[in-house]
Chain A
């Protein structure tokens, strides 16, 4: 086991006791709740006649089923309305703060936590959602849990966990033009595999990571789980503190900021920390990455050839063959020129203000291809308002994008935003699993927001470096 890492320190600070199961009981500093995975847990709580133990360390929002078009209540989709009503009842009955659409603070749970300053370094953060790893970008220990564990957290304020190993992933050098955090994480997953992180927590480090803003760090930590790692984190630094200073938690309370900063600094990994594994990746060699298959590990650089299944390790060959059949791609081809029907700019991976700004720069003055339906789904109502204040909504709508209300939307097709039939989508989301975007014949190509913008205007997978960026006024 490693020593002196952020993971070790945060674990130790939150450890309540060792359980007879061999697991540790960890106090949960922040429990985020959404409508899909929580209702059964609240139900279990009622059955056991227990109350929420730490309502003030709990925060809820609605994101998965919420419509991104007409949001008048009751929602047109009865099942969605029921889930929303259930969540409202559960959180209001427990004294849990709720960022609902009326509050103006609603959004994807992994967008609202960081933007409200709920997410802070040195916390343990859980949510019934695998992309909770996102919050690790702030130097928190954050991971997804199942519904029975949500029950545990609601009832006791704790989770039972086994300690894991820590792998340091150092991304050295400077990222090239048109290369984003998304390309970095897709490269990491491709190299280490979709199950390479099982049993590990990932610490992302190195020049290329340190140079990223918080949005990029969040995109990377967000997809840790796609590489099998339940949690991923970046050590907090000045970039982190700068973000925190501007959030609700500290904007009006600089004293609290100064009070907590030493703690944040203290939990960063020591220079001589011991890791169970260290992997180094040259960031300067990464190019824009797109997926050709049906797992996030099946990615290639935009100029690279799709691999032949026979050339892959035996355990990857079958999956690759099936994926290529589903995606209708041929080994030896590149993904450039792959025709798309839908462009989806959204999700907890890539729907923050910076993502929208960067994509808008490639959309401005251009028009969405006539055969493409393109949509932007901001990560939160705050992102939406900030983008509108900058005129980004107009840039997108002028080009032919649909500008929608915040939610998970077409990342997983739990509301009306879904692929139809065998449509192919250029998507800034995190999973290209078969059926993920709502149609079992649908085809998802994962890529960065600027690559989605490029694909939207050309109608095919495009190397964004060949498009000239237009500066948004």
Chain B
């Protein structure tokens, strides 16, 4: 199987590239530390926008620049990681706010996949909605991978989403991709709007079955949706 690397660039907001994501290959960038929260990934002041365009430049902004906009030590500033697309993180990465601006900023900076010890759930869900795998491995494997990337910033890392492995140098380590995420990415069915939109009548039936939903809160069936009954 060849590299099914997806090109996230150039997509308008939400235009998820409906494609199978079986592999992500490329060079790595380590961001060390547990509990890296979404306020660090994208500070709130950069969220005063109505589109996600241009957020890439603000990824980890306060970690990368001091008050006078001088560069601080941070992997996202280092020349050697330029062009990297596999972020290697530690535990509980992406905790905190539900802001999709966080994975959007990473994606627009160039990240196509994140490998880490563990991820906050909302962050991982947001990544999936963008077709970005969040792959987990044990602490030792992650630290070894971070060391490897630091020493070999130009070396290719291959994430096999289907086989749940991460390969770098001569190493192939077992990784974990949650079942739903793996299925969605491998089968290319992570556009949940289209998927769920096909079940319109079943949704209305569920809504009508709930005692707290007044009848007039459920849109009437129309000809268009009647023909689009899903698998229910």
Q: Give chain A's interface residues, CB within 8 Å of chain B.
A: 13-17, 19-23, 25, 27, 29, 36-37, 39-41, 43-44, 47-48, 50, 53-54, 56-57, 64-65, 77, 79-80, 82-83, 86, 120, 122-123, 128-130, 132, 143-149, 151-152, 155-160, 162, 194-195, 198-199, 225, 228, 230, 259-260, 263, 295, 297, 315-316, 318-319, 322, 412-414, 431, 433-436, 438, 440
Contacts and interface: CB of A to CB of B under 8 A. Distances in A.
Given A27-B210, A56-B216, A434-B40, A151 B193 contact: yes
Interface stretch (B9-17, B74-82, B146-154, B164-172): B9-17
A198 B121 CA distance: 6
Contacts of A195: 35, 91-92, 95, 118, 120
Contacts of B199: 16-17, 25, 156, 158
A128 B99 CA distance: 7
Given A14-B210, A29-B213, A22 B14 contact: no
30 contacts: A16-B206, A21-B180, A21-B184, A21-B192, A36-B47, A39-B50, A40-B100, A44-B13, A54-B207, A57-B217, A83-B48, A83-B50, A86-B50, A144-B122, A146-B103, A146-B122, A147-B126, A148-B16, A148-B129, A148-B130, A149-B126, A151-B193, A152-B193, A160-B196, A259-B211, A413-B45, A414-B45, A435-B40, A435-B62, A438-B44
Contacts of A17: 199, 202, 230-232
Given A29-B213, A228-B121, A413-B44, A20 B195 contact: yes
Contacts of A50: 193, 197
B40 to A, nearest CB: 7
A57 B213 contact: yes
B202 to A, nearest CB: 5
B96 A431 contact: yes
A15 B104 CA distance: 29
A162 B211 contact: no
B190 interface: yes
B222 to A, nearest CB: 12
Contacts of A41: 14
B180 A434 contact: no
B195 A21 contact: yes
Interface residues of B, number: 74
Interface of B: 12-16, 33-35, 37, 39-40, 43-45, 47-52, 62, 91-92, 95-101, 103-104, 118-122, 125-126, 129-130, 139, 178-180, 183-184, 187, 189-190, 192-193, 195-197, 199-200, 202-203, 206-207, 209-214, 216-219, 230-232
A43 B52 CA distance: 11
Contact of A157 (B104, B139, B207, B231): B207
Nearest to B32: A318
A267 B123 CA distance: 29
A86 B180 CA distance: 34
Contacts of A65: 48
Contacts of B47: 36, 414
Contacts of A225: 96, 122
Contacts of A412: 39, 44, 97
Contact of A20 (B129, B179, B183, B213): B183
Contacts of A228: 92, 95, 120-121
A14 B203 CA distance: 9
A79 B47 CA distance: 10
